């Protein structure tokens, strides 16, 4: 694990066992929840969701990028976050067709927002117990999405995930909504401990010629990888 700083934003990056700079790897970007905010990067290193994702790196062979939000919410840092991802995705060992986005709680909101703003960058997205602006769902019609929420969540109303998934699908997209009847806000522990969710997240490929800076709503649906 490496701790780095980009324009004042601290982030963690870790690599799978056997990492070689002359090879290409999928990139998973994780956006943490509100409880991990602050000046202490140790809070992110000890974040249970982050630790759970990191535990799958060697098995699934991906690089993990985890920015740290010092204060406020991800939407307040979105421009900086976009610049960070823009730089990281250009690294020679990052497979630009295999960049995958996930986050929980505040990070779930951040996942919806970042994917709405730059759907051309991602092969798939997995927001958990978050929400977004349904009017922007038209930008997500070609991005595979799997979103989760616990029906007993008293922190973020499950209707937030329902509204976003419904809006994506009404626009002709594919957003799969998975609800946990007996779980609350911490349903992300269940999500990030389940290998099937990593298999799903990593199973999509973004077309190499996808460059949609002018109109991200024109993004095309990712193709399923054959090795899952």
In tens digits, what is the pLDDT along the chain, a chain of 228 residues? 899 999 999 999 999 999 999 999 999 999 999 999 999 999 999 999 999 999 999 999 999 999 999 999 999 999 999 999 999 999 999 999 999 999 999 999 999 999 999 999 999 999 999 999 999 999 999 999 999 999 999 999 999 999 999 999 999 999 999 999 999 999 999 999 999 999 999 999 987 544 444 444 433 333 333 222
Which residue carries 């070689």 as its tokens?
A: 20
Q: Does the CA dihedral 56-58-59-64 come out positive or negative?
A: positive
3-state secondary structure of 192: helix
Q: Which residues contact 192 (CB under 8 A, 6 or more apart)?
A: 49, 52, 53, 104
| Long-range contact set of residues 215-219: C-beta below 8 Å, sequence gap at least 24 | 216/117, 216/118, 216/119, 216/120, 216/139, 217/119, 217/138, 217/139, 217/141, 218/142, 219/119, 219/120, 219/139, 219/141, 219/142, 219/143
pTM over 0.85: yes
CB atoms closer than 10 angstroms to residue 208: 9
Structure tokens at 65: 């990028």
The rounded distance, in Å, linking the Cα atoms of 113 and 49 is 20
Extended strands (E) in the chain: 2-6, 9-14, 25-31, 63-67, 94-104, 124-128, 145-150, 175-180, 204-205, 223-224
**Cβ(21)–Cβ(97) below 8 Å:** no
3-state secondary structure of 106: helix
């Amino acid at each position: 694990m490496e701790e780095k700083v980009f324009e004042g934003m601290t982030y963690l990056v870790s690599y799978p066992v056997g990492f070689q700079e002359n090879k290409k790897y999928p990139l998973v970007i994780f956006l943490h929840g509100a409880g991990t905010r602050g000046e202490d990067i140790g809070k992110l290193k000890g974040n249970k969701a982050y630790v759970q994702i990191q535990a799958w790196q060697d098995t699934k062979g991906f690089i993990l990028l985890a920015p740290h939000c010092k204060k406020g919410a991800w939407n307040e840092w979105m421009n900086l976050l976009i610049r960070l991802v823009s730089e990281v995705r250009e690294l020679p060992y990052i497979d630009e067709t295999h960049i995958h986005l996930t986050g929980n709680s505040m990070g779930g909101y951040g996942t919806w927002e970042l994917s709405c703003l730059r759907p051309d960058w991602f092969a798939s997205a997995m927001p958990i117990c978050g929400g977004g602006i349904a009017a922007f769902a038209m930008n997500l019609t070609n991005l595979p999405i799997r979103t989760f929420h616990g029906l007993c969540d008293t922190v973020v109303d499950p209707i937030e995930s329902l509204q976003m998934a419904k809006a994506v699908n009404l626009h002709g997209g594919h957003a799969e909504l998975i609800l946990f009847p007996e779980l609350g806000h911490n349903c992300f522990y269940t999500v990030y401990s389940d290998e099937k969710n990593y298999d799903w997240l990593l199973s999509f490929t973004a077309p190499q010629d996808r460059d949609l800076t002018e109109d991200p709503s024109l993004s095309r649906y990712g193709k399923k990888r054959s090795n899952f």
